[in-house]
């Protein structure tokens, strides 16, 4: 009994360790992404919006129409097999004109994970979306045949997308920031997010 418990505990710790390693970001990449979230572009919003759209299309997102040309959103991109569970994500990007031909970008990723196809829960009415009304004391939002998700979608700042955008829109600045991040990691005496004349 004790040996089984020890084996399970060891397996659990190994799994936690593996998950921790898998989610720990590279310090250099963290510096670059953190710096890019504060970037101000010397580009007109319309030109930067075109770059954002091209980049999203390259990343296999499908663009949705919007009434505001400085707000860009996508449909859900699904990674993985729906019958086994998948990762769903969509992008929401707002371009903010700052005057003098400068623009700031705020990119967000909405995402959630599904657990795969499953039969309808007995308490949920099949083939009906949640109307906010409960029937028989049960309110549901599951549609038969759709993947189920154990949680609501989360929205986080898409710093990785913003870093890729910065590199695309201004490769010279991207190379400069990479050099500063390398110096900081090597010597620890340079703040890569400090204002620069570049």
Tell me, what's the pLDDT at 196?
A: 54
Q: With 70 as the cut, is the pLDDT of residue 144 above it?
A: no
**59 vs 22, residue with greater confidence:** 59
- Give the residue carrying structure tokens 């919006």: 49
With beta carbons less than 8 A apart as the criterion, state whether 66 and 129 touch.
no
135-155: average pLDDT: 58
Tell me, what's the pLDDT at 146?
A: 55
Q: Quick one: which H or E segment has residue 165?
A: helix 159-169
Please enumerate in sequence order all residues whose Cβ is within 8 A of that of 112, keeping only pairs 6 or more positions apart, or say none. 87, 88, 149, 151, 152, 153, 154
Domain boundaries, the chain: 25-128+140-187
Q: How many CB atoms lie within 10 A of CB 174?
A: 20
Please enumerate in sequence order all residues whose Cβ is within 8 A of that of 89, keeping only pairs 6 or more positions apart, or say none. 76, 77, 79, 109, 110, 111
Angle between helices 159-169 and 27-36 (to 10 degrees): 70
Please choose, from the candidates 137, 136, 92, 134, the residue with its C-alpha nearest in 3D space to the C-alpha of residue 111: 92
Q: Quick one: which H or E segment has residue 18?
A: helix 2-23
Tell me, what's the pLDDT at 18?
A: 37
pLDDT tens by residue, 103-115 = 999 999 999 887 7
82-109: average pLDDT: 89
Whole-prediction pTM? 0.68
Tell me, what's the pLDDT at 157?
A: 95
Q: Quote the CATH superfamily of domain 25-128+140-187.
A: Kinase associated domain 1, KA1 (3.30.310.80)
Helices (H), ranges, 41-170 = 45-58, 159-169
Calculate the CA 178 to chain-centre distance: 22
């Amino acid at each position: 009994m004790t040996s089984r418990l020890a084996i399970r505990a060891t397996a659990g710790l190994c799994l936690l360790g593996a998950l921790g390693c898998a989610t720990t970001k590279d310090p250099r990449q963290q510096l670059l992404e953190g710096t890019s979230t504060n970037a101000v572009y010397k580009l007109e919003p319309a030109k930067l919006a075109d770059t954002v759209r091209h980049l999203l299309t390259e990343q296999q997102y499908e663009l949705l129409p919007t009434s505001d040309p400085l707000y860009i959103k996508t449909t859900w991109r699904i990674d993985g097999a729906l019958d086994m569970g998948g990762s769903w994500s969509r992008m929401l990007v707002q371009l903010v004109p700052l005057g003098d031909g400068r623009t700031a970008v705020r990119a967000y990723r909405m995402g959630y994970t599904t657990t795969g196809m499953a039969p309808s829960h007995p308490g949920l009415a099949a083939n009906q979306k949640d109307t906010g009304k409960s029937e028989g004391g049960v309110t549901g939002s599951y549609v038969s045949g759709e993947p189920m998700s154990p949680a609501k979608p989360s929205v986080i700042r898409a710093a990785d997308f913003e870093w890729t955008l910065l590199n695309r829109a201004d490769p010279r600045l991207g190379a400069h920031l990479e050099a500063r991040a390398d110096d900081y990691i090597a010597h620890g005496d340079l703040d890569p997010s400090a204002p620069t004349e570049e």
